[in-house]
Amino acid sequence: METSAVAVGQPIFCLDAELGYRRSLTDFSAPLRLDESYRLAHLPLVAPEHPAVIPRREGKFYEMGRHPRVFSLVLPVHNAALQASPAFRALEGQLRSAPFASKIAWEILPKRRDKLHATVCGSLGIAEPPTFASAARDALGRIEPFAVELRGLFSGNVNRGRLYLAAYPEKRNGANMLQAVQAAFGRPPGDLWLVGLYNLKDDLDAAETSALADIVARWWDRPLLRLTASALQVMSAGDDLVLDGAVEETLPLGD
């Protein structure tokens, strides 16, 4: 995907009332505890010796955070563009000086810098790459490039322990453009698209949780980066942090 600046005032972005970020926000009224899904899928990858790690669970396909290769359609985010954003650098600076900074797995960031993305259609294939019908490719080709604005920080009520940027898609002729992409692949409309960035290595105490809540509130409506989506990617990975992620195919928009 190519990224470029979009002139201020041109695109209209979906509002919070049309998306699921508020509904899905962490409840910060109690100290943040890493939840079961995080302890199964994420914690083994960032703190494998932590006593709260769930190495495996009956009926789940995780083994110390790893699983058969999963193929998904994603909106890629270029790390260089993100790092060039003064707003993003200011946000990360606040995280680095926060009272919980030592509990962030900073050491994994270099491993993920070229794999940042928001999942648009997850689990299109497991172990084997998906085959797309010509109708899906044709429908995607009829969607013109559109703008996406990243805002944040976001902490959800699932996978508590992972911190994200929230993607706000352009609304064009009344249509949410990321939902238009999902419709092209026969997927039901989603209402939140998250760029996973940071991972906690431990629970937060009350003061640390309060500090995180303050950062989330302070940055909620602040744009960090505006992108133009001109293509999407099929990405495969054997873990939820895409540490071994690979781009299998690029699907252009507007062909």
CA 140 to chain centre: 21
Does the pLDDT value for residue 33 go beyond 60?
yes
pLDDT in tens, 146-186: 999 999 999 999 999 999 999 999 999 999 999 999 999 99
First to last CA, the chain: 14
Listed range (4-8, 25-29, 50-54, 194-198) with the worst mean pLDDT: 4-8
pLDDT in the model for residue 4 = 39
Does the pLDDT value for residue 95 go beyond 90?
yes
Instruction: Compute the C-alpha angle 19/22/23, nearest 5°.
Output: 85
Domain boundaries, the chain: 16-252
pLDDT in the model for residue 144 = 96
Does the pLDDT value for residue 238 go beyond 50?
yes
Integer angstrom CA distances of residue 162 from 136, 153, 171: 32, 11, 27
Alpha-carbon span 138 to 116, nearest angstrom = 26
Arithmetic mean of pLDDT over the chain: 94
pLDDT in the model for residue 255 = 61
Does the pLDDT value for residue 22 go beyond 70?
yes
Q: Which CATH class is domain 16-252?
A: alpha beta
81 band by pLDDT with thresholds 50, 70 and 90: very high
pLDDT in the model for residue 8 = 41
CB–CB of 228/4 below 8 Å? yes
Mean pLDDT, rounded, for 71-97: 98
pLDDT in tens, 51-71: 999 999 888 899 999 999 999
